[in-house]
Amino acid sequence: MSRRRTLRRVAVWLVASVLVAAAGVGLMWPRLVGPEVEVVVAERGRFVQSIVTSGRVRPPARATLATLVAGRVAAIDADEGQKIRAGQALMRLDDGEAQATLDQAKAAVDAASAQNRQVRTVNVKDAREAVTRAQTRLDEAQRTHARIQQLFTSGAVPRETLEDAGTSLSLAESELRAAQSQQADVAGPRRAGSNAAKHQAEAALAAAEVRFSYQRLTSPFEGVVIERLVEQGDVVQAGMPAFVVVRQGETELIVEPDERNLALLAVGQLAIASSEAFPADRFAAKVIYIAPVVDPRRGTIEVRLSVPEPPEYLRPDMTVSVEITVAEAADTTILPADAVRGLAADQPWILIVEDGVARRRDVEIGMTGDVRVEILQGARPGEAVIPASAPVAPGQRVRIAAERR
């Protein structure tokens, strides 16, 4: 009986010792082999560095149209969303008074033209005929005076007859000079005055036509009406906005990335864009303009992109998301950005798992993205890297989590 009791005590003691030893090993094991950590694996592949930003659709040209004169809206000829041609009437004002002024100006031109024709035909012809008649009388008076002069010399006629012939000659000369002066007046100042009156009437007609055209509001280019601000019967003032139209043409996007990206941007870079309304539909774009100045208030720079084949649903001022490809490497080493420690410092580094130990290794960074970075030196494809969020120090023993091996 005593022997059985002794054996039982020994067995209990052995079991207790084993349990204590097992518990001690369990407590010391993590310190011996290190904690389990999840790792990421450096990969080899294509790396694209891009800038993601948002912006808006920019119409080729936007114009706010207004009439140049005040008046009552008599008719509306276009509505919102309507495509319009260059020169197409959008709105007409009551043009009764302008039409009367135009008719009056046309009548004045007709009267001035008739007066001018009279001066150029009737008056000029009369003056020319008067000169011809005066010249004929002068010639006759000269012949008569010469004949009487001969008769007076021979004593056939008295002096009084010679003096009468001289007086007739002088009168004929005076009459010719008067006719010639009148002819010059008709061909000169009077004709010039008639021409001036005609030109003045024509200028007044042109002004009346221009004022009449102001009663029509027309589109300056081919495009689309995006806003109508008046109704039929409204009384508008000169310069009051009536329509907003946009030009049909190549669609552009305007984005304003942070100025720190300026060194990465260049004209000709390709991009992919999508609208907030249709996020699944992506379309191509291309950088065509980078502003020469930075917005000092927001620290951004304006960038414009052309859209060679815009989707039908794009509308002016629509919000878009744009991803601009600024650099690319076809075959390089890539790590997640959160696996690199001190990424913003002068010397970034990573923790590599080597033989169950976390080893520090400095790396050289190439291109960077929002979630990935290019590793130029310091990491090889296939190496296990401990994320920066893991509480592991260099030189510490670690175990790679089984599900991530």
231 & 293 share domain: no
**Pick from 152, 184, 208: which residue ends a domain?**
208
The domain that contains 372 carries what CATH number?
A: 2.40.30.170
53 & 122 share domain: no
pLDDT digits (tens, 9 = 90+) for 15-70: 556 555 444 544 444 555 578 888 999 999 998 888 899 999 987 778 899 999 99
**Pick from 193, 208, 223: which residue ends a domain?**
208
Most confident of 166-180, 277-291, 312-326: 277-291
176 & 222 share domain: no
Whether 182 is covered by a domain: the verdict is: yes
75 & 163 share domain: no
Contact indicator for 42, 382 with CB cutoff of 8 Å? yes
351 & 380 share domain: yes
Alpha carbons 246 and 333: distance in angstroms, whole number: 48
69 & 120 share domain: no
The domain that contains 237 carries what CATH number?
A: 2.40.50.100
Whether 33 is covered by a domain: the verdict is: no
**Residues 72-83: what's their mean pLDDT?**
92
239 & 222 share domain: yes
pLDDT digits (tens, 9 = 90+) for 133-191: 778 887 887 888 888 888 878 877 787 877 777 788 788 777 877 766 766 666 555 55
Least confident of 116-120, 131-135, 264-268, 286-290: 116-120
pLDDT digits (tens, 9 = 90+) for 291-313: 999 999 999 999 999 998 889 88
Q: How many CB atoms lie within 10 A of CB 216?
A: 17
User: Percentage of the chain with pLDDT > 70?
Assistant: 84
253 & 242 share domain: no
Contact indicator for 230, 93 with CB cutoff of 8 Å? no
283 & 398 share domain: yes
pLDDT reported for residue 21? 47
pLDDT digits (tens, 9 = 90+) for 92-145: 999 888 889 889 888 888 887 777 666 655 456 666 777 787 788 878 878 888
DSSP, residue by residue, 278-326 = STT-EEEEEEEEE-SS-BTTTTB--EEEEESS--TT--TT-EEEEEEEE
pLDDT digits (tens, 9 = 90+) for 243-261: 999 887 788 999 999 998 8
**Pick from 208, 237, 270: which residue ends a domain?**
208
Whether 203 is covered by a domain: the verdict is: yes
261 & 290 share domain: yes
Give the confidence band of 192 by pLDDT, cuts at 50, 70, 90.
low
pLDDT reported for residue 125? 66
Whether 37 is covered by a domain: the verdict is: no
pLDDT reported for residue 60? 75
Give the pair of three-digit tokens for residue 234: 């409204």
- What's the total number of domains in the chain? 3
315 & 389 share domain: yes
Contact indicator for 325, 48 with CB cutoff of 8 Å? yes
Whether 17 is covered by a domain: the verdict is: no
Whether 277 is covered by a domain: the verdict is: yes
Whether 25 is covered by a domain: the verdict is: no
Whether 14 is covered by a domain: the verdict is: no
Which structural domain range is residue 383 located in? 48-58+249-404
242 & 253 share domain: no
